[in-house]
Structure 1
Amino acid sequence: MHDGTIRDLAFLEGPESGGAILVSAGAGDCNIYTTDCQRGQGLHALSGHTGHILSLYTWGGWMIASGSQDKMVRVVGTAFHGSGSPVASVAVDPSGRLLATGQEDGACMLYDIKGGDVRSVRFSPGAHYLLTGSYDHKVMVTNLQGDLTKPLPQTVVGEHGDKVIQCRWHTHHLSFLSSSADRTVTLWTHNP
């Protein structure tokens, strides 16, 4: 099926796949291919990348993440922008919530792939907390002081009547502003 170097492969795991579905990708046409190993036949060609695929990761039965020289990470039809460098490695935590990437420029990115449409992210002074604003109307704070390999404590610290557009921390204090499509700007204080 491939017309170029195969850079990575993985097996789909879980009761739905039977453990016999091979996922492979690499250079050439920039597609990801699935193969039924028991029957020895190709199943699907998944397209979307515009550069050579460098890394694959599978989890949860039929979920596939891929990283590419096109500087994108794709997860079953959803694309995430990297740091502006080819994505050399991808992995997903056991809960299926966090996607980590390694880029060729030395950057490591962390994505919440089960979250809503987050439109604003900001680290607090000292980077102990992450402030996020989302189209689900919520403003949340994530405590980054724990084990980053486990689910991190999140708290809804505010809510607007419409989607949240931006959030900004105060430069010295644990207070922040959020703006919304409901035409309000609100000042909040975070008391951990």
Structure 2
Amino acid sequence: IYLPYTGTTIGSFGYVPMEQMEGGKAYAASDLYSLGTTCFHLLTNVHPWDLWKKQGYRWVNSWRKHLKQPVSEQLWWIMDRLLPESYQHRYQSVDQVLEVLEFQSATPANPSQSTSKYHESFLNFLTSLRQNDQLKKQVMMGGVSLLSLGLITQGYGYFRYQTFPSNLSFLIAGLPSSTYLKTTLNGHTNSVRSIAVSPDSQYLVSGSNDHTVKIWDLPKGELVRTLNGHDGNVYSVAITPDGETIASGGDDNTIKIWNLKTGELKNNLTGHQGFISSVAISSDGKTLVSGSYDHTIKVWDLPTGKLKQTLTGETNWVSSVVISPDGKTLVSGNGGNTIRIWDLDTGNLKKTLTGHRDSVVSLIISPDGKTLFSSSLDRNIKIWDLTIGELKNTLTGHIYYVHSLAISPDGKTLVSGSANNTIKVWNVETGELKNTLTGHTNWVSSLAISPDGKTLVSGSRDDSIKLWKLP
């Protein structure tokens, strides 16, 4: 384990994060990366250095495939926040990790769980670390060894035998999810990260960590074709208003432009120096916007593929971009918990919205262009008046990160997907929770509602896509 002092790269290769390798700088998030790699090594018996030599830091995107035995889904998503290559995308402090763990452990358990020796010892460790500032300081000053000892030795069995959280079915409201589920589409071999529906509601496009883009016949629920070309995970897909063109972006730092009907690759846009996290297309089909881990937003002329301008000013990775229906306003969210509103024509920053307590991961604008919805790792959904940039309402109810949003064509129904595998359906006007849909066995990473309003589509890290009747 390396020693976390600025200006050094002392440590065991494979456990040292990128920022330490490149510049010697260390942060709390650097310690937590080393914690994640330590957990990985103990869970898999695979040394991170062996993977790093072959793949560099890209091995962290597929760490799960090295597991010898199943572990709880909760450990999955905690590890996903410990291991990102970029330190801005990891947990930023021990407190953040403890908050998540304590939130989970506060969920009522059944008697056999509550008497578990892992449960008791793990909670004791968490309580001591939370209440003792000196102990917490020693953890951070001493690297990850103490935290690793407590979290791994006390908590491994706790996670391994899935003793928390308890079954949360008592939170499910409304009719059974099976009432609304139409079908499940299988075909991707890794997490489904992004989905989009064509304007005529005939085609569904999905991007995945299996490095492919798939085109589906939405009414039939059948695969039409698979597009290969990305050299990495596909994080975002979008379809032009005429339904003819697909844009896809991912961790190969490129944006690919495809013909939806033929599958032909029309263009390959380069220029970003980091993962493409989000792409959006204007309502006239002429402008493409991309957000990236390189902290920039690029605006492209879609027909020609020429770069029009690069928007700078983001101090963190850009997680989401969305364009207003009139094509005049661009909104971006970032890993630093802020939302920025830009003039799309001039590239000028108009306003910065604050209120979320953690990374903003999804944005969507109402069909009339007046309301902005944002979701965050802070487990909240915020509703903003986009015309004046003021907060109107905050929706609470998700118990884990809210990763995806979709809005119905009439603007009356909001749908949100979470890291606890559920989908929630909200009344926009009242903020009332209408229903909770279950069925996915991993994070709900992407949502879309067909323009005809008949179908809700959800993509998940369980590698599947589900089609639902919109409740």
Structure 2 counterparts to residues 36-75 of structure 1, below 5 A: 36-59=259-282, 60-75=284-299
**1:7 has 2:244 as partner:** no
Match of 1:175 in 2: none
RMSD: 2.5
Distance in 2 (alpha carbons) for counterparts of 1:122 and 1:5: 32
1:63 CA drift (Å): 1.4
The 3 A distance-change label for structure 1 pair 36 and 83 is same
Distance in 2 (alpha carbons) for counterparts of 1:113 and 1:23: 19
Structure 2 counterparts to residues 152-167 of structure 1, below 5 A: none
Between Structure 1 and Structure 2, the one with more helix by share is 2
1:107 to 338, 343, 368: 338
The 3 A distance-change label for structure 1 pair 48 and 13 is same
Distance in 2 (alpha carbons) for counterparts of 1:94 and 1:122: 18
Deviations 1:17-38 (A, max 9, x none): xx1211101012x110011121
Between Structure 1 and Structure 2, the one with more strand by share is 1
1:148 CA drift (Å): 4.6
The 3 A distance-change label for structure 1 pair 26 and 82 is farther
Q: Which amino acid aligns with 1:6?
A: V
TM-score, length-normalised on structure 1? Answer: 0.57
Structure 2 counterparts to residues 166-185 of structure 1, below 5 A: none
Deviations 1:94-139 (A, max 9, x none): 1111111000110111111223x86x9899xxxxxxxxxxxxxxxx
Is contact 1:22-1:35 (8 Å) kept?
yes
Structure 2 counterparts to residues 137-148 of structure 1, below 5 A: 148=385
Is contact 1:33-1:45 (8 Å) kept?
yes
Match of 1:92 in 2: 323
Q: Which amino acid aligns with 2:236?
A: D
Kindly name which structure, 1 or 2, has the bigger radius of gyration based on alpha carbons.
2
The 3 A distance-change label for structure 1 pair 122 and 23 is closer
The 3 A distance-change label for structure 1 pair 97 and 122 is closer
1:33 to 253, 256, 264: 256
Distance in 1 (alpha carbons) for counterparts of 2:254 and 2:260: 18
Is contact 1:56-1:90 (8 Å) kept?
yes
SS of residue matched to 1:35: strand
TM-score, length-normalised on structure 2? Answer: 0.24
Deviations 1:15-67 (A, max 9, x none): xxxx1211101012x11001112122100001111100001111121311110
Match of 2:386 in 1: 149
Distance in 1 (alpha carbons) for counterparts of 2:286 and 2:244: 12
Moved over 6 A (4+): 120-123
Distance in 1 (alpha carbons) for counterparts of 2:294 and 2:268: 18
Distance in 1 (alpha carbons) for counterparts of 2:385 and 2:330: 12
Q: Which amino acid aligns with 1:114?
A: D
The 3 A distance-change label for structure 1 pair 151 and 39 is farther
The 3 A distance-change label for structure 1 pair 97 and 32 is same
Distance in 2 (alpha carbons) for counterparts of 1:85 and 1:63: 24
1:83 CA drift (Å): 2.4
Is contact 1:10-1:24 (8 Å) kept?
yes
SS of residue matched to 2:321: strand
Q: Which amino acid aligns with 1:3?
A: D
1:150 CA drift (Å): 3.9
Is contact 1:55-1:88 (8 Å) kept?
yes
1:151 CA drift (Å): 8.7
- Aligned residues, how many? 122
Deviations 1:159-182 (A, max 9, x none): xxxxxxxxxxxxxxxxxxxxxxxx
Q: Which amino acid aligns with 1:106?
A: N
Distance in 1 (alpha carbons) for counterparts of 2:333 and 2:315: 12
Q: Which amino acid aligns with 1:4?
A: G
